[in-house]
Amino acid sequence: MGNSKFGKFILIGALTGAAVSLFDKSTRRQVMNTSNHMANQVKFYASNPDVLKEKFQQTKEKYMSLYDQFSGDAAYIKTQVDELKTLTPQVKELVVGTKEAFVDSKEEYKELITETKETGDVKKS
């Protein structure tokens, strides 16, 4: 395993691919422009580290505020879910109670109708 050439050949392949791609003039120009831009940025931040520090601070604050907002949203959703969990048994009890009330009323109406038919108290128009 120590003599594995896999990593070495991947690196050689990548370098070969990069060299071949540089045969194209527009690719060379783009690589040069990007390299020059990066070098200029490195020089600027090397001579102005306070600007780089400020950029990092702004980025950190942005992500911290995003994290705080996400945490607040997650806490709100958690409280809503907890409230729903507590309401679900109450709603279930209400539905069961309503169903039982209707079933009981239905039975009472049936009894009233059968009593009325038995006694003959039905009014004729």
Q: What is the reported pLDDT for 28?
A: 94
In this model, does residue 117 exceed pLDDT 80? Answer: no
Class of residue 31 by CB neighbours under 10 A (exposed 0-12, middle 13-18, buried 19+): middle
User: What is the Cα–Cα distance from 3 to 10, expressed in whole angstroms?
Assistant: 14
pLDDT confidence tier of residue 44, bands split at 50, 70 and 90:
very high
Enter the pTM of the model: 0.46
How many Cβ atoms are within 10 Å of 27's Cβ, its own excluded?
Answer: 13
In this model, does residue 110 exceed pLDDT 60? Answer: yes
In this model, does residue 96 exceed pLDDT 80? Answer: yes
Task: Give me the count of residues in the chain.
Answer: 125
User: What is the Cα–Cα distance from 46 to 52, expressed in whole angstroms?
Assistant: 9
pLDDT confidence tier of residue 123, bands split at 50, 70 and 90:
low
User: What is the Cα–Cα distance from 125 to 104, expressed in whole angstroms?
Assistant: 30
Encoded tokens for 107 = 């039975």
- Tokens 């991947």 correspond to what residue? 10
Q: What is the reported pLDDT for 59?
A: 95
